[in-house]
Amino acid sequence: EAGVTQSPTHLIKTRGQQATLRCSPISGHTSVYWYQQALGLGLQFLLWYDEGEERNRGNFPPRFSGRQFPNYSSELNVNALELEDSALYLCASSLVAAFYNSPLHFGNGTRLTVT
Amino acid sequence: QKEVEQNSGPLSVPEGAIASLNCTYSDRGSQSFFWYRQYSGKSPELIMFIYSNGDKEDGRFTAQLNKASQYVSLLIRDSQPSDSATYLCAVAVRAAGNKLTFGGGTRVLVKP
């Protein structure tokens, strides 16, 4: 069974540009989560999608947005990039919502560097 | 007060000893609790989860949950150098819209 896949592995952008990160969940998983992990910091919750709908978002500005497609894959868009957006962006999927004891399975992440 | 707190460590443990990691959380409505291991430069991988008070064992790992005291712990028995990693505690709160919140992690170093 294929795990969660993310692309690209690395992404280098300049300040002010837009970045698009992609995620394919484990087959059968309908929930997709996005987290940001800046260097030396913990995982910060960004967004949760389930059945194509945004269910919750973390304390991030509106320039962080995304969507979930009918095949449950997801896209994270970051507009007007700032230097502090440089981080590892992790996508995770789960069979159902995590509060139903459904664990998150993480992809290998996209390392975004903003110069 | 942080929603999920962990001692950042490093927790230094001799090979073969028991490593004990603690995690406290602030929201009494927390329902599910997860432990993840993250090697440097890698993504988190699930170790185990627990949702009922008491102990849950899986191989060399034991998770302990005490909802009255709002803490969850992880014991690693017979620690191996390969257990050297950062261990993340995560808490799911349904009332918070299922925002799975992670602690900052505890770095564990197992010395041969």
Mean pLDDT of B45-55: 94
Facing residues of A96 across strands? none
* Residue A107, φ and ψ in degrees, nearest 5: -80, 180
pLDDT recorded at residue A98: 66
Which residue among B42, B46, B93 places its CB closest to the CB of A99?
B93
Tell me which of B98, B106, B107 to substitute to probe the interface with A (most A C-beta atoms closer than 10 Å). Answer: B98
The pLDDT tens digits of the residues spanning A89-113 come to 999 999 877 667 788 999 999 999 9
Mean pLDDT of B40-68: 94
Q: Quick one: pLDDT band at residue A1, thresholds 50, 70, 90? A: low
Instruction: Give the amino acid at A27.
Output: S
The string of DSSP letters for B15-84 reads TTS-EEEEEEES-TTEEEEEEEEE-TTS--EEEEEE-SSEEEEETTEEEEEETTTTEEEEEESS--GGG-
pLDDT recorded at residue A75: 98
B33 class by beta-carbon count within 10 Å (0-12 exposed, 13-18 middle, 19+ buried):
buried
The pLDDT tens digits of the residues spanning A18-70 come to 999 999 999 999 999 999 999 878 899 999 999 999 999 999 999 999 999 99
Nearest CA in chain B to A90: B43
The pLDDT tens digits of the residues spanning A2-21 come to 799 999 999 999 999 999 99
Q: Residue A35 and residue B102: Cβ atoms within 8 Å?
A: yes
Q: What is the mean pLDDT of chain A?
A: 93
Q: Quick one: pLDDT band at residue B100, thresholds 50, 70, 90? A: confident
Spatial CA neighbour of A34 closest among A114, A110, A115: A110
CB-based contact (8 Å) between B88 and chain A? yes
Q: Residue A42 and residue B105: Cβ atoms within 8 Å?
A: yes
Nearest CA in chain A to B37: A106
A-chain CB neighbours of B96 within 8 Å are: 56
**β-strand pairing of B11-14 with B106-111:** parallel
Mean pLDDT of B70-93: 95
pLDDT recorded at residue A59: 92
Q: Residue B99 and residue A48: Cβ atoms within 8 Å?
A: yes
Q: Residue A45 and residue B101: Cβ atoms within 8 Å?
A: yes
Q: What is the mean pLDDT of chain B?
A: 93
A-chain CB neighbours of B97 within 8 Å are: 48, 55-56
Q: Residue B34 and residue A58: Cβ atoms within 8 Å?
A: no
pLDDT recorded at residue B2: 77
